[in-house]
Amino acid sequence: MSSQKKRTFQIEAFKHRVVVDPKYAEKTWKVLEHAIHEIYNHNASGLSFEELYSHSPLPLDGVWNTLFRIHQFMPWCKNSEVAWNAYNMVLHKFGEKLYSGLVTTMTSHLKEISQSIESAQGEIFLEELNRKWIDHNKALQMIRDILMYMDRTFIPSSHKTPVHELGLNLWRDVVIHSSKTQARLRDTLLELVLRERNGEVINRGLMRNIIKMLMDLGLSVYQEDFEKHFLSVSANFYCLESQKFIETCDCGDYLKKAERRLNEEIERVSHYLDPRSEIKITNVVEKEMIDSHMHTLVHMENSGLVNMLVDDKYEDLGRMYSLFRRVPTGLTVVKDVMTAFVRDTGKQLVMDPERLRDPVDFVQRLLDLKDKYDKIINMSFTNDKTFQNALNSSFEHFINLNARSPEFISLFVDDKLRRGLKGVGEEDVEIVLDKVMMLFRYLQEKDVFEKYYKQHLAKRLLSGKTISDDAERSLIVKLKTECGYQFTSKLEGMFTDMKTSYDTMQGFYASQSDVGDSPSLVVHVLTTGSWPTQPSPQCNLPSELLGVCEKFRAYYLGTHNGRRLSWQTNMGTADLKATFGKGQKHELNVSTYQMCVLMLFNNADRLTCKEIEQATGIPLLDLKRCLQSLACVKGKNVLRKEPMSKDIAEDDTFFFNDKFTSKFFKVKIGTVVAQRESEPENLETRQRVEEDRKPQIEAAIVRIMKSRRTLDHNNIVAEVTKQLQSRFLPNPVVIKKRIESLIEREFLERDRVDRKLYRYLA
Amino acid sequence: MPRPKRKAAVPTRSSDADSSARPEPKKPRGNQFNRIDQLFESYVNKTLGLIDPEGIEALCNDVNVNHTDVRMLIFAWKMKAEKQGYFSKDEWRRGLKCLGADTRPKLKKAIEGLDKELKVPECFEDFYSYAFQYCLTEEKQRSVDIETICELLNIVLKSEFPNQVNLLVEYLKVQNDYRALNMDQWRSFYRFFKEVDFHDLENYDSSQAWTVIIDNFVEWLKEKEKN
């Protein structure tokens, strides 16, 4: 007897004497054999072993306990002879015989069982198998109990398979892997799955039991006998099905079907397969139904991704997202197609010549486009960050394709602040401004935007045409947060000037004792650096004005020493009281230039363009525009023109239009509203921007070189670009030119040996 | 008996000596300087105290070398002459000492052989930069007009890079971006000729810190090749 580490009983407890006799062993074995047979036979008689077990829990230790149990449930066993015999045999080293006898007996029984299963017809096959399996398990349990001592002593020491496991292995080898049963079992199971997939109801409980049996026999049995084939058959099934669907369904329907199948499989696993199969079968479905047809689906004509996007099909898009997410590169495909489409749409939008006529509409469409895709990403793509980023980069790409985007965005803001946001609540104003900021962030040329914004703001402030000071300031704060103090300091300066001017006017009128008949003057004093500079040649103001203008100048220079004032006659407005032919009086709101022109007609009935030019000193181009606005616009034609053409020639003659009528008392003719620039103006602005950039680039280069002392060319370009990127994207050629200029002026030098290296010269 | 100390003859080397000057046992200084000064006097403009263009013309005649010849330029370089068309006494002395010439025949011979002075690359580069500087006539002037640049290129680089010089000169005459060039740009021409193969322009990399005018030149060359 092998030495055992754990002894759970004392040999001394046995009072029986032990006899070592081969014949005894034989006899003993016969008894045991008979017992095993009985167990199997009693299986057939359907004894309820559960009842027998119910009285006491099974203590597992000790042969005595075992004997006790055997007494309880084997009434035909007159005494504990059986177990005692077993014990004996082991004890006397006949364990080998016992064991091999066990194997033989069990095997022969199982062969019988196997045959009975093989001969089962049709539907009965699985049921029979199931039943016999259940019985076998019960029998096995009992046999194990009887032979428990052997299980715990002889078997470990002789490295044999324990009883329970032996029983399972034999079942597997004899019954399951019998040549007739193995394939039949597999095919039957697969057949049932197929029928269920085709809509039939099958016996899930039975399936579950059979599958569990395979699991109990070992994971490799489950996998080799069932799962492997299940997966490959499923792959075929879904391959064919997906092909059929692709040919007959549109994208949305297909996705619905795919989703349904996926859910079905998951549910199938939960009901009667091993949980570990779930991932494998879902992979199969994903591969066959989604992965194989990804591109076909996405690009499907009339129903693919692009159509879904255009038609805002949130549900379909959501389904596509959640399905494609399951396959590698699925979402990348979706994202790429979406990105390309957005870029394309955006590009068409910004390059369309029709759209370029109306800047406000242009920007509104951009905002609408963004809103649309924001909603799609929110509703259907679970706010996926990579999609959000792709959308942003698309916008950044196409907005900058149109060099006039910065100007247009400023015009949009101008329109909103001038009238668009009239009567809109504070919160909603903020929403609009935030959206504008979002577009602003996409701009590469933020300095261009700044230039236009300044111009438009100046016009708004000077004409008093802003709907809300708060809204104006709110936007400036947002710009400051985004771009820093430098960006907005001048803008804030403009606001300050307006306020200061107001105070100055108060002071001026307080100081004038006698106002008399002179026209009332409102002066805005603008600090030159803060306001958009436009060279303004002096035009000749009407004599009626000269007096009060001089008074103001004297007053102002009296209180502010050392300053210089120059009238900006291209930026002012005037209100004129005019009386026409039939005595109808109107108040005309005009620009300063227009005022100069009109006042001439107090002293002359007719004047040619040339004469007006000479008298007023207004630059010809501006004058022509001015005259057009006074004579060629219906409802505002306070002047009459001969000939009546729209173009102004030098010899054209102008008359005061006696017959002018308007249903409004106040008539607005001023042309101070911000408009999109003409081509030549645009070119000029661009040139000014380019000129402004040069010193900024140089300053950046000097800053960098001062701290780094020596640096190579590529790094300088990279650093400069990085430093300036919040304002504009510098052209590397321009940077190079600036470096050369700095070399010439001896701020930097080029290294003698390494041409690419520059050095800062203190 | 103590021996009288003998003064060792120290071969003096002028700080301007270049590779061609070998330390010769010097005659007493006085004589050599005298002869050099005499030569100076023979060409000098008395009122200015400098050799002026007329004097240089005379010199050129004597040595039988045209004043537009590169060797005259090399001569000026040896002298480190500051002002174009004029040689000061110090400059004259420096130059002639460098050449080891103190008589007219020696000077003629020396000047005739001056083009060999440029064989060493470091020397050539120094000379090359000098050539540009020599053209800066006004105070604070930093750039030289295109016409002069073209002439200078022909004088200084044509012998070594005939083909390239022709192309560059052609380009400089047709382009409108620059009317005058600075030292940095001038220097970049020589480096460009040395480092870049005109038959292999595909590998030219404009991010490599060549001057913008070189970038434009390469573009022009590529266009030319296509047609």
Domain membership of residue A599 (yes or no) is yes
Q: What is the CATH number of the domain that holds A581?
A: 3.30.230.130
Same domain, A304 and A286: yes
Of A279-283, A387-391, B117-121, the least confident: B117-121
Same domain, A307 and A341: no
Q: What is the CATH number of the domain that holds A746?
A: 1.10.10.10
- Chain-chain contact of A714 with B212 (C-beta, under 8 angstroms): no
Say yes or no: B208 contacts chain A, CB-CB below 8 A: yes
For residue A108, what pLDDT is reported? 85
Query: Closest approach of chain A CAs to the CA of B218, in angstroms?
Result: 14
Cβ-in-10-Å burial (0-12, 13-18, 19+) of B177 comes to: exposed
Q: Which residues of A touch B208 (CB under 8 A)?
A: 713, 756
Residue B107 backbone dihedrals phi, psi, to 5 degrees:
-60, -45
Domain residue limits at A242: 186-325
For residue A245, what pLDDT is reported? 94
Residue A316 in 3-state DSSP? helix
Same domain, A312 and A349: no
For residue A53, what pLDDT is reported? 37
Nearest-CB residue to B211 (from A717, A740, A745): A740
Same domain, A166 and A190: no
Structure tokens at B32: 């050599």
Same domain, A334 and A321: no
Nearest chain A residue to B206 by CA: give it: A733
Domain membership of residue A508 (yes or no) is no
Nearest chain A residue to B143 by CA: give it: A744
Of A166-170, A659-663, A728-732, the least confident: A659-663
Say yes or no: B218 contacts chain A, CB-CB below 8 A: no
Say yes or no: A737 contacts chain B, CB-CB below 8 A: yes
- Chain-chain contact of B191 with A736 (C-beta, under 8 angstroms): no
Q: Give A38's pLDDT tier (boundaries 50, 70, 90).
A: low
- Chain-chain contact of B212 with A737 (C-beta, under 8 angstroms): yes
Q: Give A28's pLDDT tier (boundaries 50, 70, 90).
A: low
Q: Which residues of B touch A717 (CB under 8 A)?
A: 207
Same domain, A42 and A124: yes
Domain membership of residue A547 (yes or no) is no
Helices (H), A607-711: 609-616, 620-631, 679-708
Q: Give A210's pLDDT tier (boundaries 50, 70, 90).
A: very high
In angstroms, the CA A316 to CA A303 distance is 10
Size of interface A-B (CB pairs under 8 A): 36
ipTM here? 0.76
Domain membership of residue A567 (yes or no) is no
Residue ranges in chain B modelled with pLDDT below 50? 1-20, 27-28
Of A44-48, A402-406, A468-472, A736-740, the least confident: A44-48
Mean pLDDT of chain A: 84
Q: Which residues of A touch B210 (CB under 8 A)?
A: 755
Residue B198 in 3-state DSSP? coil
In angstroms, the CA A204 to CA B151 distance is 100
Nearest chain B residue to A743 by CA: give it: B184
Structure tokens at A110: 């199982």
On whether the CB atoms of residues A305 and A277 are closer than 8 A, the answer is no
Helices (H), chain B: 29-43, 53-63, 70-79, 89-99, 104-112, 121-134, 146-157, 162-174, 183-195, 212-226
Same domain, A465 and A343: yes
Say yes or no: B164 contacts chain A, CB-CB below 8 A: no
- Chain-chain contact of B184 with A744 (C-beta, under 8 angstroms): yes
Residue A96 neighbours by CB under 8 Å, 6+ apart = A158
Residue A749 in 3-state DSSP? strand
Q: Which residues of B touch A714 (CB under 8 A)?
A: 207, 209
β-pairing verdict for B180-182 and B143-145: antiparallel
Instruction: Please report, for chain B, the start and end positions of each structural domain, with discontinuous segments joined by +.
Output: 30-119, 121-226
Domain B30-119, CATH among 1.10.10.10, 1.20.1090.10, 1.10.287.1080, 1.10.238.10: 1.10.238.10
Question: How many percent of chain A have pLDDT more than 70?
Answer: 86
Nearest chain A residue to B188 by CA: give it: A755
On whether the CB atoms of residues B97 and B16 are closer than 8 A, the answer is yes
- Chain-chain contact of A755 with B182 (C-beta, under 8 angstroms): no
On whether the CB atoms of residues A375 and A443 are closer than 8 A, the answer is no
Same domain, A363 and A463: yes
| Domain end point (choices A271, A297, A325) | A325
Same domain, A231 and A157: no
Residue A251 has pLDDT above 90, yes or no: yes
Please name the amino acid found at residue A53.
Y
Q: How confident is the model over A84-104, as pLDDT tens digits? A: 666 666 555 666 777 887 888
Q: Give A312's pLDDT tier (boundaries 50, 70, 90).
A: very high
Average of per-residue pLDDT across A397-426: 89
| Domain end point (choices A150, A175, A200) | A175
Residue A634 has pLDDT above 90, yes or no: no
Average of per-residue pLDDT across A238-265: 94
Cβ-in-10-Å burial (0-12, 13-18, 19+) of A743 comes to: buried
Residue A713 neighbours by CB under 8 Å, 6+ apart = A736, A739, A756, A757, A758, B207, B208, B209
Q: Which residues of B touch A732 (CB under 8 A)?
A: 207
Residue A675 has pLDDT above 90, yes or no: no
For residue B47, what pLDDT is reported? 87
In angstroms, the CA B227 to CA A312 distance is 53
In angstroms, the CA A655 to CA A638 distance is 9
Considering only residues A158 and A225, tell me which one the structure prediction assigns the higher pLDDT: A225
Q: What is the CATH number of the domain that holds A388?
A: 1.20.1310.10
For residue A250, what pLDDT is reported? 92
For residue A385, what pLDDT is reported? 95
Nearest chain B residue to A732 by CA: give it: B207
Q: Which residues of B touch A744 (CB under 8 A)?
A: 142-143, 182-184
Residue A64 has pLDDT above 70, yes or no: no
Ramachandran bin of B3, using left for φ above 0, alpha for ψ from -120 to 50, beta for the remaining angles: beta
Q: How confident is the model over A735-750, as pLDDT tens digits? A: 999 999 999 999 999 9
Q: Give A221's pLDDT tier (boundaries 50, 70, 90).
A: very high
Query: Closest approach of chain B CAs to the CA of A492, in angstroms?
Result: 40
| Domain tally, chain A | 5
- Chain-chain contact of A743 with B188 (C-beta, under 8 angstroms): no
Domain membership of residue A514 (yes or no) is no
Q: Which helix (H) or strand (E) holds A578?
A: strand A573-579
Query: Closest approach of chain B CAs to the CA of A705, in angstroms?
Result: 16
| Domain end point (choices A624, A647, A668) | A668
Domain membership of residue A522 (yes or no) is no
Cβ-in-10-Å burial (0-12, 13-18, 19+) of A651 comes to: exposed
Nearest-CB residue to B209 (from A713, A737, A744): A713
Q: Which residues of A touch B129 (CB under 8 A)?
A: none
Say yes or no: B188 contacts chain A, CB-CB below 8 A: yes
Residue A70 has pLDDT above 70, yes or no: no
pTM: 0.73
For residue B121, what pLDDT is reported? 76
Q: How confident is the model over A687-717, as pLDDT tens digits? A: 989 999 999 999 999 999 999 999 999 999 9
Q: How confident is the model over A453-471, as pLDDT tens digits? A: 988 898 888 877 788 888 8
Nearest chain A residue to B213 by CA: give it: A737
Residue A16 has pLDDT above 70, yes or no: no
C-alpha distances out from residue B212 to A19, A24, A761, B223, Å? 114, 113, 22, 17
Q: Give A11's pLDDT tier (boundaries 50, 70, 90).
A: very low
Domain B121-226, CATH among 1.10.238.200, 1.10.3470.10, 1.10.3080.10, 3.40.50.2000: 1.10.238.200
Same domain, A466 and A589: no
Residue A336 has pLDDT above 90, yes or no: yes
Residue A274 has pLDDT above 90, yes or no: yes
Say yes or no: A717 contacts chain B, CB-CB below 8 A: yes
- Chain-chain contact of A744 with B182 (C-beta, under 8 angstroms): yes
* B30-119 and B121-226 in the same fold: yes
Same domain, A269 and A383: no
Say yes or no: A740 contacts chain B, CB-CB below 8 A: yes
Nearest chain B residue to A749 by CA: give it: B184
Closest listed residue to residue A668, CA positions, set A524, A464, A469 = A464
Of A132-146, A256-270, A344-358, A433-447, the least confident: A132-146
For residue A35, what pLDDT is reported? 65
Residue A430 has pLDDT above 50, yes or no: yes
Residue A2 has pLDDT above 90, yes or no: no
Nearest chain B residue to A753 by CA: give it: B191
Same domain, A164 and A300: no
CA angle in degrees (0–180, nearest 5) for A279-A283-A289: 145
